[in-house]
Amino acid sequence: MAVELKFHYPITTLTLEGDYILQACNAHEGDLTERIPIVFVSESRSILTNLNKSMAGQQSSVAGVGSLTKAQNAKLAVLEDLMNRVRRSAKLAFKNEDVKLHSEFQVGVNKPSDLGSTIARARILATSCASSDNAAALAKEGWTAKDTKAVNDAIDGLESTDNTQETAKTTKSASTDARNALANDLNARLLAIQNAANLQWPASEPANRSIRAEFRLGIFPPNHQVKKTQPQPPAPPPAA
């Protein structure tokens, strides 16, 4: 099951505010020791560091998926070109044999157009080209066993790229789960630290205003509540 974020603001806000709060912990370490253990703060700093690394790594993962898509499209274009060459050769070799052209060489068959269906049609073409009877007729039109091998190689290359892309997507999904888990952990820790700071320096004491700001009390977590629009009084009737 995917790991969902347990808060509703950007992770970049969490990491920025988290850095401020942990800096405040270090600055007031002696006053908070009874409420928040030093090791808790150091662990939270490590989580923040790992979260920042995870976010940076995920950006690289996204770029990788994009480059794989380009590679996939390039190999698909090569395969489709070879498929068209097979069909043209087959039309010359098997004139007026519409059933054979349609079933064995997929002439006029272009849908479904998804990748899996395209590869399936390409495999039918490659198998038909390799048939001894068909190969002999195609050879008279210039088609060779080397050409048939090129079709099979293009299919294998495209499937390999597709598998690599799916692996990259899975890796990206796993990295998102890891990132969200770190973010949820850090968020809970920051709230615990803030609660300790709120107890140590209550808002009822005006002198605590500055130190409370260091712990981002009243600032973090951000409040995104939308104020309800007050109903407007009805317009007065037009003057007589």
Tell me if 121 sits within 8 A of 84, measured CB to CB.
Answer: no
What integer pLDDT is reported at residue 20 of this predicted model? Answer: 93
For the chain, which residues make up each domain, given as ranges? 11-214
Region 11-214: CATH code: 1.20.1260
Coil, strand, or helix at residue 159? helix
Report d(CA 201, CA 31) in Å as an integer: 10
What integer pLDDT is reported at residue 42 of this predicted model? Answer: 92
What integer pLDDT is reported at residue 53 of this predicted model? Answer: 85
Report d(CA 21, CA 219) in Å as an integer: 11
For the chain, which residues score pLDDT lower than 50? 60-68, 225-229
What integer pLDDT is reported at residue 234 of this predicted model? Answer: 58
What integer pLDDT is reported at residue 23 of this predicted model? Answer: 94
Report d(CA 59, CA 57) in Å as an integer: 5
